[in-house]
Amino acid sequence: MTALGLPMTVPAQDLPERVRIHEVGARDGLQNEKSTVPTEVKAEFIHRLADAGLTTIEATSFVHPKWVPQLADAEDLFPKLGGLREVALPVLVPNRRGLDRALVLGARRVAVFASATESFAKANLNRTLDESLAVFDPVVRHAKDAGVHVRGYVSMCFGDPWEGPVPLHQVVRVCTALRDMGCDELSLGDTIGVATPGHVLELLALLNEEGVPTNMLGVHFHDTYGQALANTYAALEHGVTTIDASAGGLGGCPFAKSATGNLATEDLVWMLQGLGIETGVDLGRLTATSVWMAEQLGRPSPSRTVRALSHKDQ
C-alpha cells in the first residue's frame, strides 16, 4: 500500500534523544492467553525480540501457577535466556516466595505489581491497598539487599473499572510508598486505557512535585480507547524516556478477539522513528517477529503498524 516501510524522520523540539522501550509482550502480553504457549515458543519469541533490538524484555512471572497457568513454566523458560547477556530480562514477582524463585535462577531485575485503587488490589491481589503495600515492602527490600533492580508497577492510575475516576493523590501515595521501599523505577499503568494527555501530564507534574523524578518514571498505556500513542507523545514532551509496549499489541483486555489492550511496540516505534528518537529497534525485524507470534497464537496482531507493514510485504 505504501512505498514507505518506515516513516520520514522529522524531529520535534524538546523531546528526548533516546527512549528505552520496556517490552512486555512475553509476560503481560501472553499471561492471559487461554491455550498454553510452549516454553520453546516463548524462548524463541524473546530471542527474536532481542534480535530486533529490544534491550529490556520482561520475560515471565514467578507467580503461583494456579493464578497464571500460562506462566507456570518460568523455571524452565528463564534458563533458556542465558545467552542474552546484553538484554535486561526483568521478571514479575508477586511476593517473597516468587522473589526467591527468581533470585535462585539469577534474575537481576524484578518487578512488583501494585494497584492505585482498593478495588483492583482486592480483585487482583485479594488484599486492601495498604495490605498489598505491606506485602511488597519486604520483597522490595530483600531484592535491593540482593543488589537487584526493582520496578514497581502501579496499575489503574487513570481510571478503575469498578471505581471510575481515580484521585491523583491516591496514585501519588502509592508511588511514593513504592519509592520509599526502594523501587528503582515506577511504571504508571493506564490499565483500562481511559487516560488522555492532560491527565497524564498532571500526574507526572504532581509526582515531580512530590519528589519522584521523571527519570524514575515509565508509562504503560493501553489502547482500549485509542489514546495510547497520544498519551505517549505527551509523556515524551514531559521528558519521560521509559515506555512500556507489547510487541504486536499482545495482551490487554480479554473482552474482544482483537483486544485493543497494550500499546503495540510497532506503533510506538513508528512514531519514535518518525520523531528521530533512538530506540535501537529494527522495525522490520520486530514486525516479522509479531507476525510470527501471531501465527503461533492463531490470530492476527491488533497492531495497526503490523497489519499495514505485513500487508505491504505480501
Give the active site residues: 253
| Locus of grid cell 492510575 | 157
295 binds a copy of itself (CB under 8 A): no
One residue of 193, 218, 248, 251 binding a copy of itself per CB under 8 A = 193
2 binds a copy of itself (CB under 8 A): yes
In the complex, the smallest distance separating the C-beta of residue 199 from a copy of itself, rounded to whole angstroms, is 4
One residue of 76, 202, 210, 313 binding a copy of itself per CB under 8 A = 202
One residue of 123, 201, 216, 297 binding a copy of itself per CB under 8 A = 201
One residue of 79, 164, 213, 280 binding a copy of itself per CB under 8 A = 164
Mark the segment that binds a copy of itself (CB under 8 A) among 63-71, 93-101, 136-144, 248-256.
Answer: 248-256
User: Closer to a copy of itself at the Cβ: 56 or 260?
Assistant: 260
282 binds a copy of itself (CB under 8 A): no
- Asked if 70 contacts 297 with a C-beta cutoff of 8 angstroms, the reply is no
Say how far apart CA 240 and CA 136 lie, in whole Å: 25
**Helix, strand, coil tally for the chain in percent (to 5):** 45, 15, 40
In the complex, the smallest distance separating the C-beta of residue 120 from a copy of itself, rounded to whole angstroms, is 12
H helices of the chain, in order, are 39-51, 74-77, 96-104, 118-120, 129-145, 168-181, 197-209, 228-238, 265-274, 283-297, 304-313
The residues, ordered by sequence, that sit 6+ positions from 180 with a Cβ below 8 Å of its Cβ are: none
Among 199, 186, 187, residue whose Cα is nearest residue 225: 199
One residue of 83, 226, 280, 313 binding a copy of itself per CB under 8 A = 226
Say how far apart CA 63 and CA 95 lie, in whole Å: 8
Say how far apart CA 155 and CA 177 lie, in whole Å: 14
224 binds a copy of itself (CB under 8 A): yes
One residue of 31, 132, 242, 305 binding a copy of itself per CB under 8 A = 305
In the complex, the smallest distance separating the C-beta of residue 150 from a copy of itself, rounded to whole angstroms, is 29
Beta bridge partners of 160: 164
User: Closer to a copy of itself at the Cβ: 3 or 211?
Assistant: 3
| Locus of grid cell 483492583 | 120
Say how far apart CA 68 and CA 66 lie, in whole Å: 6
In the complex, the smallest distance separating the C-beta of residue 293 from a copy of itself, rounded to whole angstroms, is 18
132 binds a copy of itself (CB under 8 A): no
One residue of 65, 83, 198, 213 binding a copy of itself per CB under 8 A = 198
Say how far apart CA 274 and CA 277 lie, in whole Å: 8
One residue of 74, 192, 204, 207 binding a copy of itself per CB under 8 A = 192
Say how far apart CA 264 and CA 249 lie, in whole Å: 4
| Locus of grid cell 504457549 | 37
Enumerate binding residues for a copy of itself (CB under 8 A): 1-4, 7-12, 15, 158-165, 192-199, 201-202, 223-227, 229-230, 232-234, 253, 255-256, 258, 260, 264, 267, 270-271, 273-276, 303-305, 307-308, 311
